[in-house]
Amino acid sequence: MLKQHLQFKLSQKLSPQQIQLMKLIQLPTQAFEQRIKQELEENPALEGGKDDYENDEFDSDFDNSGDDFNDSETIGNDEINVDEYLSDDEIPDYRTQANNYSSDDDDKTMPYAAGTSFTQHLINQLNTYRLTDEEYSIAEFLVGSVDESGYIRRTLTDIMDDLAFTQNVYTTEDKIKHVLKIVHQLDPAGVGARNLQECLSIQLHRKEKTPDTDLAIDIVDNAFELFTKKHYEKLLQKFDITEIQLRDAIREIEHLNPKPGGSYSGNNRIVEHVVPDFAIKIIDGELELTLNGRNAPELHVSREYNNMLKGYKESKDKSKSQKDAVLFIKQKLDAAKWFIEAIKQRQQTLFVTMSAIMHYQEKYFLTGDERNLKPMILKDIADEISMDVSTVSRVANSKYVDTPYGTKLIKDFFSESMKNDQGEDVSTREIKKILETVIEEEDKRKPLTDETLASILKEKGYPIARRTVAKYREQLDIPVARLRKKI
């Protein structure tokens, strides 16, 4: 049975412009520059750089009114209203905005030096060995299987099968093992290992023979599990050695490189550089916030497109093709004017948000002591600047600020609060910093357990449970007490 009924409801929808503005806000500086470059390529009505508008007879009217961005606007059959895009007596807003950013902030393209890849570096070394065609094919395949850390993380059986299917090389596991030993002779030492134990063993065997290295080799080859679990008492009994001998052997192992691939400096990996979006300086005891000048590009609406519109307005006979062209021009001008306005809104949103964060954490920015970080959540800043929490989140999650104490990720300034023994709200960051300090100062021969750490923090005025200590310790990437033990 079919029924018809009316239903009224209120709903909120974001316009396409609002959605794109939110996407612009969350972009960090480098991604923002790429977005501008993309827009300049896609929209011919938008131009970058300075525009000499002196003595112009007209200019585009940068009016941020709803009419300019009304998607439902239609073109009349007889006339297209272009007056809103042309103005004889007014300079648009974006012409008058001050740009106080130094030219020193301009992006300087960083060239990357070409180099030999890690794989090619290993193959070049293979060419110095006298190998049969079969051995060279196997060795080349093994080198190609080395990952960026320097390991071969595949079984010999898989490698044997792949050699047969992809290289038409039919061989045995024993032959692959023989060639693998040749690969293990390549530099950097430890390359081609199948696991950490083999990697350390290869490096130790290539070192000069001393009592310490001999004992280290014995430990890695025959008691690796006891070593990784730091069962030092069992190692002392197994090898019948003194603590001093064990300590010297462990020192030899600690000086090895667990990721030999990372030591190759000739590779051509692109190094990622963090570009701070803000800078905070202390001048005469006061904090000063600046926005990176690369977030304030010089953009303007194309004068040629304005000339097209003026020519259309003065034309008496308006053909259908002219109207279609003007419709295209109008759409591009709308997009260009909106993009310029969106950039201005982005700058304002970033600056207002970071300014609120800076003043909220003023004590920290003046001292650099993380114990001075106040508890702060996204809602605190959102309420301060009367914006939505999601907007603050977009600013905090992907932006960096250059401070006198280093470049920091903004979201790191946010933390939950806990109450100390005096009932005062303190930041969890403050508790983590104290926990980290306590662990750094502990006796490494007898590391403190989580329960002991909880007792120490309680004595310092922070009554937190053992499981909370364990959670904070894991967030700080600090291992359990047994793995922190040193002899």
pLDDT in tens, 317-353: 666 777 777 777 777 777 778 888 888 888 888 889 9
Q: Which CATH number fits domain 417-487: 3.90.1150.10, 1.10.10.60, 3.40.50.1820, 3.40.50.150?
A: 1.10.10.60
The reported pLDDT for the residue numbered 94 is: 47
pLDDT at 57 over 60: no
Position 271 confidence tier, pLDDT thresholds 50, 70, 90: low
The answer to whether the Cα torsion of 420, 424, 428, 434 is positive or negative is negative
Position 473 confidence tier, pLDDT thresholds 50, 70, 90: confident
d(CA 313, CA 80): 8
The answer to whether the Cα torsion of 351, 355, 356, 357 is positive or negative is positive
Average predicted confidence (pLDDT) for the chain: 77
The reported pLDDT for the residue numbered 2 is: 75
CATH 1.10.10.60 placement within the chain: 417-487
Element (H or E) spanning 454, and its range?
helix 450-459
Environment class of 200 (CB within 10 Å of its CB; exposed 0-12, middle 13-18, buried 19+)? buried
Position 59 confidence tier, pLDDT thresholds 50, 70, 90: very low
Strands (E), 180-252: none
The reported pLDDT for the residue numbered 58 is: 35
For the stretch 342-392, pLDDT in tens is 888 888 888 899 999 999 888 888 888 877 788 888 888 888 888 888 888
* Cβ 107 vs Cβ 294: under 8 Å: yes
Position 228 confidence tier, pLDDT thresholds 50, 70, 90: confident
